[in-house]
A and B are shown apart, each in its own frame.
Chain A
Amino acid sequence: MKKTVLFIFTLILALAVCACDSASNGASGNAKTVADVLNEQTGNTTSDNSGQGAFVPTVTDTNMKCDLDVTSMNATVAYSQVIDFWNNPGNYMGKIIKVRGTFKVITDNGRNYYSCNLGDATACCTAYVEFILKDPLKYPDQYPKVGEEFTVIGEFETYLENGYTFCQLKNASFC
């Protein structure tokens, strides 16, 4: 009995020490690829454009009445909600949705696709929803920096491109 108690106590102590150690080192949320490690070793590091702080918009629209406010949910549920946009888009068509996440832009065939990315609680997975602004603003001056947190509100719709269905917020504006 004494040996069992002592063993359990030692195990808990060892786990606590390991937890403290990893917390002080800081755990990275993203797994590195072989290419990342090779780049680091050879000094070819790419700069990380993760923005610090939240984006402050120059143009906002306060008249939109929000039907679904994803910003009021915690990370796990907000991420799941955005996934549900993709799984069941019919339930959200025409609804005014407000989301908060990090800004990302993809350029394809000369066109910019702007999206709001949300991570789950462990930040290992991300879901995104694209948006098109109602008032055309100048990119990149009047848009958030890539990786910067921002809030956007818009009307949910889907569109077809290259045989795939995508979700986006149209007539959107920053909050």
Chain B
Amino acid sequence: MILLSVYLFTRFLNLFSEYDLAVRLIKKLGIADIFDELAFYFKFPFVRYAIIVGVLIALCSSLLGVTLVLKRFSFIGDGLSHVAFGAMAVAAVAGLTNDMPFVLIVTVISAVLLLRTGQNAKIKGDAAVAMISVGALAIGYLLMNVFSKSANISGDVCTTLFGSTSILTLNKTKVWICIGLSAAVVALFMVFYNKIFAITFDESFAAATGTRVSLYNLILAVIIAAVIVLAMNLVGSLLISALVVFPALSSMRVFKTFRSVTVCSAVISILCALSGMLISILASTPVGSTIVVVDIAVFFVFYLIGFLKAGIKK
């Protein structure tokens, strides 16, 4: 960060003798080449769209991640992403030009069914998630193989499951839908922050104090579905859980209050998504996997910080 600041300062002010040394050092390390390459790629609109949408998706998923981890619903994201994949397959077979509204509706319905059937369900929690998850994945892949007109089914499935370049191939309509959905998710989270806090930690107490728990669970289900559909564009179906879970878990190693964990989770998620995308663009690696690897690295760093912090306190 210090070298970056010096480099930018010298580019702006022209060179002084002591900063000239820093610039020569930066050039020797090849950092200037990296910035030149990034500046070249940032000229293309689809790269700019990818960065904007990726950051928004990371923000939304991190806000949701804290609640899901605390309510022990981490695998709901995985299950719903598979449902979204199945819905996407149906939309592709049906020849829908824009599949996002259809996928969103199906995923919302599934989220509501999964989260609200906890009370009197014959098939409970994790079994229901597993059933719906693998069923949707199998049906989706079967439909794509039997009915798809695409010449590269494996590639289409690979892209949808792992998000190798989905974020870099968004058209304008999808970009605006993503921005709109992200804004709605953030707005809902901020408006209902206190209620979400209450139902996250103690649903029974919240219900006893007059909070309409079922309504807020429904709102949460809708938010989850929206974030899952958005996040599929960034990291693909199979890696969504990482995007939701890792930032929350990392921040929980160091911070203890709900607000601080949420803020830290958002910051970590945005920085990891941004770093992952930039590394992927420069090193030509799959976007989704790169972001998740950066998330894992940051988790280990925060785990170490938490470990040292606990050691110092003792």
Decide if B12 is an interface residue (CB 8 Å cutoff): no
- Mask: chain A, 74-86; 1 = CB below 8 Å from B; 0 = not: 1111011101100
Tell me whether A31 and B286 are in contact (CB under 8 A): no
CB contact under 8 A between A80 and B172, given known A30-B154, A31-B154, A125-B152: no
Q: In chain B, residues 164-187, which have Cβ atoms closer than 8 Å to a Cβ of chain A? A: 164-165, 168-172
Tell me how far the C-beta of B138 lies from the nearest C-beta in chain A, rounded to whole angstroms.
Answer: 16
Decide if B20 is an interface residue (CB 8 Å cutoff): no
Most chain A beta-carbon contacts within 10 A, residue among B47, B154, B283, B287: B154
Tell me how far the C-beta of A142 lies from the nearest C-beta in chain B, rounded to whole angstroms.
Answer: 26
Which residues on A sit within 8 Å (CB–CB) of B281?
74, 76-77
Q: How far is the CA of A79 from the CA of B280 in the complex (A)?
A: 13
Which residues on A sit within 8 Å (CB–CB) of B168?
76-77, 79-80, 83
Contact count band on B: 20 to 34
CB contact under 8 A between A80 and B285, given known A120-B164, A122-B158, A124-B164: no
Tell me whether B155 and A80 are in contact (CB under 8 A): no
Which residues on B sit within 8 Å (CB–CB) of A79?
165, 168
Q: How far is the CA of A30 from the CA of B170 in the complex (A)?
A: 24
Q: How far is the CA of A81 from the CA of B41 in the complex (A)?
A: 10
Tell me whether B46 and A122 are in contact (CB under 8 A): no
Query: Nearest chain-A residue to B37 (Cβ)?
Result: A74
Query: Nearest chain-B residue to A75 (Cβ)?
Result: B284
Which residues on A sit within 8 Å (CB–CB) of B152?
125-126
Tell me whether B285 and A121 are in contact (CB under 8 A): yes
| Chain B interfacial positions (CB closer than 8 Å to A) | 40-41, 44-47, 50, 152, 154-156, 158-159, 164-165, 168-172, 280-287
